[in-house]
Structure 1
Amino acid sequence: MTPFWKLSAAGFAATAIAYGPARMGFGLFLPEFRSVFSISLQAAGFISSLGFFGFFVGLLISQFLTARRGPRPPIVLGLAAATTGMSLVAVASNLTVLSLGVLLAMLSAGFSWTPFSDAINRQVEERLRPVSLSLVSTGTGLGIVAAGAAALLMSIGGVSWRLCWALFAVGSAFALLCNWIALSGAGEASGVRRPLRWQALFRRATTPIFAIGLCYGVTSTVYISFAADRIAQAGGVPGLPANLSGSLVFICYGAFGLLGLVTGQIKTLTGLPWLLRLLLLASALSSVLIALAPASWAGVVVSAGLQGINVMMTSAVLAFWSDRLFPAFPSRGFTAVLLAVATGSVLGPVAAGSFASHFGVTAMFLATAALAASAALAIRSGYISETPHPE
């Protein structure tokens, strides 16, 4: 097998697990978890934020390991964390074990994306690198669809959520084995180590990308943490049991998110400032629909679809925007942007859970929509720069 296919397939499997069931599974199964473990909305927000804190820590460790040991160790370690975490969730008998499992599972997302840029850069010929990286990122959307479909089919068949998580763990173990083999030739880190001058990343021209990353982290994680539970508590959509309706959210979310593959073409047509405005407004409308129409097929499908498009396209935007701003240190620059996203991901669910416990879930989603809409209105074309950032 050529390096192109070997690394593309391995990366596809890694992101499908890490950004599919490992990262989204808690929100997907929150209705069941709330029933079994008597979890309040405030506690659910705390557990979700704890998991996204794992994502934050994973990014830092991954950057450190990749710079010193090459891409293989962080990717393998991340998939090992996903396997262990999802296994713990499957057997959890109390809230502590459940929380630890969620933390380890979501830790994997921080490990399992950015190192592939390094591995592909080393082994895949230049003309095929964009295609390979696109295939790796596509694993995210299909992983989310697969997780939602598995939950839907198992619920219809009356199979326990524990078996579902056990199968996720088996899939993660298989991805771990594939990546262990595929990355055996990825090599060690480069012998030339440039000083990590993180302060060089933060300038006036780079403020917008970090601000949008922070906002994106808040709004997207509030949605994936609470949307399924919002629908279940509202009684579900007509024709589906309440506990199955959350699966519909994630299936639509992942399927529509595959449109992220055409982000570059859309950006060429609209320009970066307008693309960012449209994505933020899509996020706002998505939250409004889940707040006001959680028991409507049209409301749920459109809401999940818009959120999936927003998440996948914004991820792509942040990747190529970061690459333009920090051409001299792309991995470090992109890691800094993802850390801003991770900070929002930690703050968002815990704040939203607390807000919902005082003002209600509808108000929580409307407040999230207001944040996204305000960010869209705040964008000024003159401040959105794609100029390469001097080192």
Structure 2
Amino acid sequence: MTPFWKLSAAGFAATAITYGPARMGFGLFLPEFRSVFSISIQAAGLISSLGFFGFFVGLLVSQYMTARKGPQLPIVLGLAAATAGMTIVAVAPNLPMLSLGILLAMLSAGFSWTPFSDAINRKVAERSRPAALSLVSTGTGLGIAAAGTAALLMSIGGISWRLCWAIFAVGSTLSLLGNWIALRDVAVTPRPRTRLPWNVLFQPAVIPLFAIGLCFGITSTVYISFAADRIAQAGGVAGVPANVSGSLVFICYGVFGLLGLVTGGVKATTGLPWLLRLLLLASALSSSLIALVPTSWTGVVVSAGLQGINVMMMSAVLAFWSDRLFPALPSQGFTAVLLAVATGSVLGPVVAGSVADVFGATPMFLGTAALAAAAALAVRSRYIRESAAS
């Protein structure tokens, strides 16, 4: 197998697991977790934020390991954390053990994405790298859709959610073995220890990138943490059991998210400022629909589809935007952007859970929509630059 296909397949499998059930599983199964472990909406927000804090830490450790040991170690450790975390969730007897499992599972996402940029840069010809990176990122959408489909089928069949998480753990183990084999021959020669100068992070051209990344982290994680539970608590969509309806969110989210592959073409047509506005407005409409019509088939499908498009396209935008702003140190620059996203991811669920505990889920989602809409209105073409020197 050529390095292109070997690394693309390995990356696809890794992101499918770590950004699929490992990162999204808590929100997907929150209705079941709340029932079994008597979790309040405020506690659910705290657990979700704890998991995204693990993602934050994983990004930092992964960057350090990749620079010094090469990409294999962080990727394999990330998948090991996913396997251990999902196994713990499958057998968790109480809330502390469940929280530990969620933390380990979500930690894996921080380890397992950025190192593939390094691996592909080392082993794949320059002309083929964009295609390889696109295949790696596609694993996210399909992993989310597959997790939602598994949850839907198992719920319909009356199979325990614990078995579902055990199957996720088996899939993670297989991905771990495949990545260990695929990455064995990737060079482990440390990269030069060039660091991203701190002053670069505060140039005027860079500030909008981090601000939008922070907003994106808040709004996207509130949605994936609470959307399924919002539908279940509202009674579910017509004709589908309440505890199954949330699965539809993640199926549509993942399937529509595959449109992220055309982000480059859309950006070439609209320009970066308008693409940012459209994605932020899509996020606002998505949260509004789940707040106001959580039992409507049309409302749920459109809401989840818009959120999936927003998340996958915005992820691609942040990747190529940071690459343009930090051309000399793309890996460190992208990690810095992801840390902004992770900060929003930590803050969003815990604040949203507290708001929902006092005011209810509808104001929580409408507040999230208002934040995304305000960010869209704040986008100004003269501030959105694709080069720090422009």
Distance 2:189 2:299 in 1: 48
Task: Report the equivalent of 2:338.
Answer: 338
Contact 2:89 2:98 in 1 (8 A): yes
Contact 1:326 1:389 in 2 (8 A): no
Deviation track 1:49-86 (CA, whole Å, cap 9, x = no partner) reads: 00000000000000000010010000000000000000
Contact 2:196 2:333 in 1 (8 A): no
Residues 191 and 82 of structure 1: CA distance in aligned 2, closer, same or farther (over 3 Å):
closer
Task: Determine helix, strand or coil for the equivalent of 2:187.
Answer: coil
Task: Determine helix, strand or coil for the equivalent of 1:204.
Answer: coil
Cα distance, 1:389 vs. partner? Answer: 5.3
Task: Report the equivalent of 1:281.
Answer: 281
Distance 2:131 2:38 in 1: 45
Contact 2:213 2:318 in 1 (8 A): yes
Cα distance, 1:388 vs. partner? Answer: 4.4
Cα distance, 1:93 vs. partner? Answer: 0.5
Contact 1:58 1:111 in 2 (8 A): yes
Cα distance, 1:189 vs. partner? Answer: 3.7
Q: Which one-letter code corresponds to 2:258 in the other structure?
A: L
Cα distance, 1:382 vs. partner? Answer: 0.1
Task: Report the equivalent of 1:132.
Answer: 132
Q: Which one-letter code corresponds to 2:51 in the other structure?
A: G
| Equivalent residue runs for 1:99-118 within 5 Å | 99-118=99-118
Matched, 1:172 2:172: yes
Cα distance, 1:199 vs. partner? Answer: 3.8
Cα distance, 1:191 vs. partner? Answer: 5.0
Distance 1:359 1:310 in 2: 27
Cα distance, 1:361 vs. partner? Answer: 0.4
Task: Report the equivalent of 2:230.
Answer: 230
Distance 2:232 2:389 in 1: 47
Task: Determine helix, strand or coil for the equivalent of 1:192.
Answer: coil
Distance 2:201 2:184 in 1: 32
Distance 2:191 2:222 in 1: 41
Cα distance, 1:127 vs. partner? Answer: 1.0
Distance 2:120 2:131 in 1: 10
Note the residue ranges of structure 2 that are not aligned, 5 or more in a row.
Answer: none
Structure 1 segments (4+ residues) deviating >3 Å: none
Task: Determine helix, strand or coil for the equivalent of 1:115.
Answer: helix
Task: Report the equivalent of 2:320.
Answer: 320
Distance 2:292 2:312 in 1: 24
Contact 1:66 1:189 in 2 (8 A): no
Task: Determine helix, strand or coil for the equivalent of 1:238.
Answer: coil
Task: Report the equivalent of 1:7.
Answer: 7
Contact 1:327 1:388 in 2 (8 A): no
Contact 2:209 2:318 in 1 (8 A): yes
Contact 2:203 2:388 in 1 (8 A): no
Task: Report the equivalent of 1:163.
Answer: 163
Distance 1:191 1:375 in 2: 37
Distance 2:191 2:13 in 1: 29
Distance 1:333 1:234 in 2: 42
Distance 1:35 1:362 in 2: 20
Task: Report the equivalent of 2:266.
Answer: 266
Matched, 1:357 2:357: yes
Deviation track 1:234-260 (CA, whole Å, cap 9, x = no partner) reads: 100011100000000000000000000
Distance 2:110 2:138 in 1: 17
Task: Determine helix, strand or coil for the equivalent of 2:205.
Answer: helix
Task: Report the equivalent of 1:216.
Answer: 216
Distance 1:147 1:202 in 2: 39
Distance 1:180 1:209 in 2: 34
Distance 1:186 1:99 in 2: 35
Task: Report the equivalent of 2:38.
Answer: 38
Task: Report the equivalent of 1:311.
Answer: 311
Task: Determine helix, strand or coil for the equivalent of 1:62.
Answer: helix
Distance 1:191 1:310 in 2: 34
Cα distance, 1:311 vs. partner? Answer: 0.3
Task: Report the equivalent of 2:384.
Answer: 384
Contact 2:201 2:207 in 1 (8 A): no
Matched, 1:152 2:159: no
Larger deviation, residues 3-12 vs 190-199: 190-199
Aligned length in residues? 390
Residues 110 and 360 of structure 1: CA distance in aligned 2, closer, same or farther (over 3 Å):
same
Task: Report the equivalent of 2:291.
Answer: 291
| Equivalent residue runs for 1:81-96 within 5 Å | 81-96=81-96
Cα distance, 1:188 vs. partner? Answer: 1.1
Cα distance, 1:205 vs. partner? Answer: 1.1
Task: Determine helix, strand or coil for the equivalent of 2:328.
Answer: coil
Task: Determine helix, strand or coil for the equivalent of 2:207.
Answer: helix
Task: Determine helix, strand or coil for the equivalent of 2:206.
Answer: helix
* CA-atom RMSD in angstroms: 0.9
Note the residue ranges of structure 1 that are not aligned, 5 or more in a row.
Answer: none
Q: Which one-letter code corresponds to 1:96 in the other structure?
A: P
Residues 153 and 191 of structure 1: CA distance in aligned 2, closer, same or farther (over 3 Å):
closer
